[in-house]
Amino acid sequence: MADQEMIQEKIGEALGLEKAAQKAVEDLDSRGLLKPEQMKKLSKMREEASQQEEEMQDLVKDLVESDGFDQDTIDEKAEETAEKASKMMETYLGEEPDTQEALEFLCLAEGGEVTHYEVLNSVAKDVKNKKFGTKVRSILKEEKRHLNLCTKLATDNAASA
């Protein structure tokens, strides 16, 4: 059985990655690394990520009530994870990033999100509040779509270069 401390940390990490993925799209766009036709699809993805973040925040509030989760632990982990992901982006992009690298970083970020929601889904049985599993599975489905979208943008971009 997964303990509550671990589940809280994993929720925080998922939230942090959610924040980081949105910020990455904004940053990469403002640096001119994303083409308008790519950005059209990515802004929709960013909006969905913002919606997911809100839904997760609401879920956390419920879990504080129903399962005695600690809001501060989750918030701290989210903050820390978002910061780590931003640093990873800078390291990955290096000195002179191009569109291909920008898209590949988004694949990394979305891949991380998919994994984290898979992990949350695997521990959902240990959370009393059943809203948790339902929400996690619906977000996981969207995250898989996000990863597919980013992968397609990266492969199309490479093929047209």
Residues near Fe ion, by CB under 5 A: 49, 110, 113, 143, 146
Which residue in the shown chain puts its C-beta closest to Fe ion?
146
State the nearest-atom distance from the C-beta of 62 to Fe ion, in Å. Answer: 22
State the nearest-atom distance from the C-beta of 146 to Fe ion, in Å. Answer: 4
State the nearest-atom distance from the C-beta of 101 to Fe ion, in Å. Answer: 19
Contacts made by residues 59-63, CB under 8 angstroms, sequence distance 24+: 59/131, 59/132, 59/135, 60/11, 60/15, 62/129, 62/131, 63/11, 63/127, 63/129, 63/132
CA 102 to chain CA centroid, Å, is 16
Between 127 and 149, whose beta carbon lies closer to Fe ion?
149
State the nearest-atom distance from the C-beta of 103 to Fe ion, in Å. Answer: 14
Between 52 and 157, whose beta carbon lies closer to Fe ion?
52
Between 5 and 45, whose beta carbon lies closer to Fe ion?
45
**Spatial contact of 53 and 142, defined as CB atoms under 8 Å apart:** no
For residue 38, give Cα distances in angstroms to 99, 131, 148.
10, 34, 13
Between 3 and 54, whose beta carbon lies closer to Fe ion?
54
